[in-house]
Structure 1
Amino acid sequence: MRSIFPLCALALLSACSQQTSNLNDPSDINFDESRFRQDIKTLASDEFEGRAPTTKGEQLTLDYLSDAFAEMGLEKPNGKDYLQAVPMVSYTASEQQTVRLGDLELKHRQNVVLGSRHDVAKIDINNAPLVFVGYGINAPEYQWNDYQDLDMTGKIAIILVNDPGFARPDSGKFNGKAMTYYGRWSYKFEEASRQGALGAIIIHDTKPASYPWSVVENSWTGAQQDLVHNSDEQNQRVQVEGWISYDAATTLFNKTGLSLATVSDRAAASAVNLPLNQTATIAFKNKAEYANSYNVVATLPGNSRAGEHILFTAHWDHIGVDANKEGDQIYNGALDNASGTAGILEIARQFAIQAKNGHPLARSLTFIATTGEEQGLLGSRYYAANPIYPLDKSVAVFNLDSTNVYGRTTDYTIVGKGKSELENYLVDALKTQNRTAKREKHPESGGFFRSDHFSFAKEGVPAVFAGGGSEPIDEATAQYKAAMKLKMKGCYHNVCDEYREDWDLSGALEDLAIFYQAASVLGNNHHWPGYFKGTEFNALRPANDNIEQASK
């Protein structure tokens, strides 16, 4: 057993002592590395088969998490178990596909990945006109509409990834290098659907996407889960959606007499749509299967304001198994996100111990291990639309996704820093470790929109996605980090995201202490954090307007 606090270097001993005294109880808070490590190792083991929703791996995961919360003595919100059913449908497109854009024959997985979110046995599209719609954005607040005066009925939209701010960060358009929600793939498919398009295909480009083509191939093939929608929503959705590689798209545009690079520059300067004077023929078999997946939800009641909840979230799911791959077929998802799930378990244990020792928080803590994050934040979206506890009584959300396995740092990353007052609790806690909060190094990747906290932010609940850092604590840690980064290169959404015995988890343990301390302070005061003026969510729960909101 290793406590987090002995991990501090001698130069930081005084800071560590201060941290201990500032926690919920004067006694030492003992984040157990061996237990934390074992949780990651178990959840990421081959036995759990990559933890895909609605599979054997899900059932093993649900049992493991439920047993852990039961051992802590946490309450079952529904009185029967820790599970919230999330109705899902899995769509599986055949590996044998005919995809022809103009006279360009494309190969499934190699340079195109397509699927359908419709319960139909076959997709059969013939001679559908292709239209380049720039970034596929309709944003009145930016005076931007790539669909202006365009009837998309029966047509397929070809769309650039990210948003215009990435291509021209100094133009003042959108949010510069930092991706807005309009840059997310999910928005682009939704907007194409609202425009009445038959299909939508995004042009993959590694830099603005922030991930290589292999992530598209691995994440968008096989069974694709979605929430079960009503018939009106389902009928509105594009019939076919997916991705085309940049090289294939370049060839397609060349064949139309256009340059992809040139029209991309034009699309970054102003809203644009251009008919490509080419048509698409797309055919593949499709299958839809319905089943419930589950969020795992456990509550530690507060002692005086139990109706007010601080939420901790981490997604338990990953990609599962791909039987079409040669060699290793299991996407174990150790870093993403067995590590975050293990993190909320360890935080829950410490709060449960403190409560048993007579030191509960005033407010309740609710821990939610969500399903379907990898398929579009499905579990968190479902909870936000169907909350077990009212969202207007949900004080804040702390989200853990891919915790730090690269050793201790002098800084701490808050993704999308500058959104809400909730961040101040993390900043104050960081002082006890002599660390500073910084924004993520690559805001163009749209990290704020890519994990479960975003589902709550959209509803006005202050939510943060934070942890880790980019500055190693010392030279030895820097050398270890560089070597481990090489070992794990290319492992995001790949089969090599496996548990490693040589991971240095000391930085992750320090991060758990930051979350613990921030929640401890917020859990015992009357503050209702809000979103800062100028952010997307300020109108939903403004900062400073509700600091002393009374408990009801």
Structure 2
Amino acid sequence: MIRLFILGAMLLSLTAFAQERAPLPTTDAEARALAATIEADDLRRHLTILSADDMEGRETGEPGQKRAAAYLAEQIAKLGLPAIGEDNGYYQTIKFSRQKWDTIAMSVDGRELRHLWEFYSAPSRNTDREDQSISEITFLGYGIDHERYNDYAGHDLAGKTIMIFAGEPRGRDGNFLITGTKDPSAFSLDDGAKLRAAREHGVETVIVIDPTFKNNVQEVRRETLDGRLKMTDRTESERQEANNIYITPDLARTLLGKEYRKVVRARKRAEKTGRFRPVVVPTDIRLVQDKETRELIGENVLGYLEGSDPELADEVIVVSAHYDHIGKRGDAIFNGADDNGSGSSTVLEIAEAFTEAARSGKGPRRSVLFLWVSGEEKGLLGSEYYASHPIFPLANTVADINVDMVGRIDPAHEGNPNYIYVIGSDRLSTELHNINEAVNRDFTQLELDYTYNAKDDPNNFYERSDHYNFAERGIPSVFFFNGTHADYHRDTDTVDKINFDKMVRIGQLIFYNAWQLANQDKRIEVDVK
């Protein structure tokens, strides 16, 4: 029995070891030949261009970032990869916006109201306007324009200020009038539908009575205090919503005065008949919505190689790097050679190795997306945008391999360039971790340093690069990183300090990982909770 137990344990151990790196349809020699196409001269050529002064630090939305995106797209086109981006190109456009109030003020009968206490207005949902004088408001029920219920029917509201209830009306049976069921329509779930309807009817301002004011004001409070760039669906010129303010029910009673009871009766009548009769109320309101807006347009760059196996080609491996940096400060150019020109150049070379395999008739079985994102320095915004608007379904995304700073040596490894920090490989999939260990053992023999993978790492690097937006959505991800150094985020991070031999070995390690993931029979599993 003991001998059988020992034999069984040995077999289990051998099985686990074999699963570290399943056999590939190509030989190790062929994989080595492909990895050998990752060369120091090519890396130097790419990085010299990406970190040149005329790229102006590649700050998102600035001309240098556009030039860097154009260079990446040009290289992808030279590799013969298809244009899967917008307008038959290689880009996924991202709109960023930072908006805050310079002045937000509202007074009633000469009394100044307190923003975020009696009323609130979000800068991101309003256009910039000068002082407005409002002498009357038209109470328009729920402000809904729908074939089953329409507060606008027969009324000209162009240039007017309207006041509306939040939500939507119910009938006598308790069902919502629009859906005919207990389930609300989009007019309850998204105030944007009402604000767009108001804009279409020429309404100047929408005043919304918010019965849950204390809860909803918190989001606007955060936006008002937060000066960060955020993704947005449209620019100011594309805005489709009428200007708006939200008020407490108590303030609504004050504004409506003696007409309040008439409004309540009109509301009850609407719920019985499905029609609302507007109530016009004289007022003395002054409203200022003066805001500061900064808008940027960034681009993610997409290089796609379709898998060769019809049964596996729907599955996608992502190899990512951010190519933006922090731009200029006065005359100083922050070239960002290591951060992250090094990762961007490395992904270009890996893409070339994969396309070389495809040209020789031995392309990867799964598809591979080479993804260069912008907006990383603004808060991982480019990768967040891709993860929120994926070109390929996230359910079919097998893994993300992220490359961020791989061209330098940090103080902890001074004199030893043959190392790399590995972050996140075991957070969701033990198999991803084992594959990296196995291909490094079989091919590159680098020192794999897991210092920054510790969950109590005070630097929290796991959440500070683009792989995190994939990992957060349950996609196994690994981040390769050389650590920080004295030139990190300084104008001294230049190409002359890059160790290209180190980049070659790390690029080859990443290639072997991607090659293994793209070719093995079984997709890796999420087995860590």
Q: Tell me how far 1:525 sits from its aligned partner.
A: 1.3
Percent identity for Structure 1 against Structure 2: 26
Letter in 1 for 2:315: E
Note if contact 2:401-2:477 (Cα within 8 Å) is conserved in structure 1. yes
Q: CA 1:504 to 1:63, structure 2 compared with 1: closer, same or farther past 3 Å?
A: same
Alignment of 1:277-288 (within 5 A): 287-288=292-293
TM-score for both structures, normalised by structure 1: 0.54
Alpha-carbon distance change, 445 to 71 in structure 1, aligned in 2, over 3 angstroms? same
Q: CA deviation at 1:389?
A: 0.9
Deviations 1:331-374 (A, max 9, x none): 22221111111110011011111221222111111111111111
Matches within 5 A, 1:136-535: 196=218, 224=229, 226-228=231-233, 287-290=292-295, 292-304=297-309, 305-322=312-329, 325=330, 327-328=331-332, 330-406=333-409, 409-419=417-427, 420=429, 421-431=431-441, 432-441=443-452, 443-468=457-482, 485=485, 488=487, 491-492=488-489, 494=490, 496-534=491-529
Does 2:91 correspond to 1:86? no
Indicate conservation of the 8 Å contact 1:91/1:289, yes or no. Answer: yes
Tell me how far apart the structure 1 counterparts of residues 344 and 101 of structure 2 sit (CA, whole Å).
30
Question: Could you say if the C-alpha distance between residues 435 and 290 of structure 1 is closer, same or farther in structure 2, counting changes exceeding 3 Å?
Answer: closer
CA distance in 2, matches of 1:310, 1:34: 26
Whether the 8 Å CA contact 2:418–2:502 is kept in 1: the answer is no
Distance change >3 Å, CA 317–CA 227, structure 1 → 2:
farther
Secondary structure of the corresponding residue to residue 387 of structure 1: coil
Over 3 Å counting, the alpha-carbon distance change for 1:226 and 1:33 in structure 2 is same
Task: Give the distance between the partners of 2:376 and 2:244, measured in 1 at CA.
Answer: 24
Q: Return the alpha-carbon distance in structure 2 between the equivalents of residues 505 and 370 of structure 1.
A: 22
Could you tell me how far apart the structure 2 residues matched to 1:461 and 1:519 are? 14
CA displacement 1:240-293 (0-9 Å, x = unmatched): xxxxxxxxxxxxxxxxxxxxxxxxxxxxxxxxxxxxxxxxxxxxx852244532
Maintained 8 Å contact 1:418/1:532: no
Q: Secondary structure at the match of 1:341?
A: helix
Q: Give per-residue Cα distances to partners, 1:75-123, cap 9 Å, x unaligned.
A: 22248111112222245899xxxxxxxxxxxxxxxxxxxxx9786769x
3-state DSSP class of the match of 2:313?
strand
Range with bigger deviation, 47-56 or 24-33: 24-33
- Could you say what secondary structure the match of 1:339 adopts? helix
d(CA) in 2 for partners of 1:292 and 1:321?
A: 18
TM-score, with structure 2 as normaliser: 0.57
For residues 59 and 482 of structure 2, the distance between their equivalents in structure 1, rounded to whole angstroms, comes to: 26
Tell me which structure has the larger Cα radius of gyration: 2
Residues 451 and 502 from structure 1, CA distance in 2 versus in 1: closer, same or farther, beyond 3 angstroms?
closer
Aligned residues: 343
Q: Is the 2:408–2:497 contact (alpha carbons within 8 Å) kept by the matching residues of 1?
A: no
CA distance in 2, matches of 1:317, 1:196: 32
Moved more, 287-296 or 342-351: 287-296
What's 2:51 paired with? 44
> How far has the Cα of 1:195 moved from its partner?
8.4
**2:316/2:366 contact within 8 Å kept:** yes
Distance 1:436 1:363 in 2: 29
- SS at structure 1 position matched to 2:92: strand
Q: Does structure 1 retain, via aligned residues, the 8 Å contact 2:314–2:396?
A: yes
Which whole-Å CA distance do the structure 1 matches of 2:35 and 2:449 have between them?
28
Give 2:494's aligned amino acid. Answer: Y
Q: Which residue of 2 is the match for residue 69 of structure 1?
A: 76
- Pick closer, same or farther for the CA change 1:117–1:446 going to 2, 3 Å: farther
Q: 1:408 to 1:307 in 2, by over 3 A?
A: farther
1:438-481 C-alpha deviation (Å, 9 max, x unpaired): 313472111111111111112111111124479xxxxxxxxxxx
Shift, 1:497, TM fit: 4.3
**TM-aligned CA distance change 1:28 to 1:529, over 3 Å:** closer
Q: 1:83 to 1:448 in 2, by over 3 A?
A: same
> Distance in 1 between the 2:71 and 2:44 partners?
15
2:417 and 2:395 mapped to 1: Cα distance? 35
Secondary structure (helix, strand or coil) at the match of 2:315 reads strand
| 8 Å CA contact 1:62, 1:296 repeated in 2 | yes
Change (3 A) 1:466 1:422: same
Inter-CA distance 533–25: structure 2 relative to 1 (3 Å threshold): closer
Secondary structure of the 1:361 match is coil
**Long gaps (5+) in structure 2:** 1-25, 103-122, 130-214, 246-289, 410-414
CA distance 1:199–1:428, shift in 2 (3 Å): same
Q: Tell me, in whole angstroms, the C-alpha distance in 2 between the residues paired with 1:376 and 1:314.
A: 14
Q: Which amino acid aligns with 1:438?
A: D
Relative to structure 1, the CA distance from residue 44 to residue 235 in structure 2 (aligned partners, 3 Å threshold; closer, same or farther) is farther
Q: Counterpart of 2:517 in structure 1: which amino acid?
A: L
SS at match of 1:448: helix
Aligned to 2:176: none
Q: Which amino acid counterpart does residue 288 of structure 1 have in structure 2? A: T
Q: CA deviation at 1:411?
A: 4.0
Q: Is the 8 A contact 2:56 2:327 kept in 1?
A: yes
Q: Distance in 2 between matches of 1:314 and 1:522?
A: 18
Change (3 A) 1:296 1:26: closer
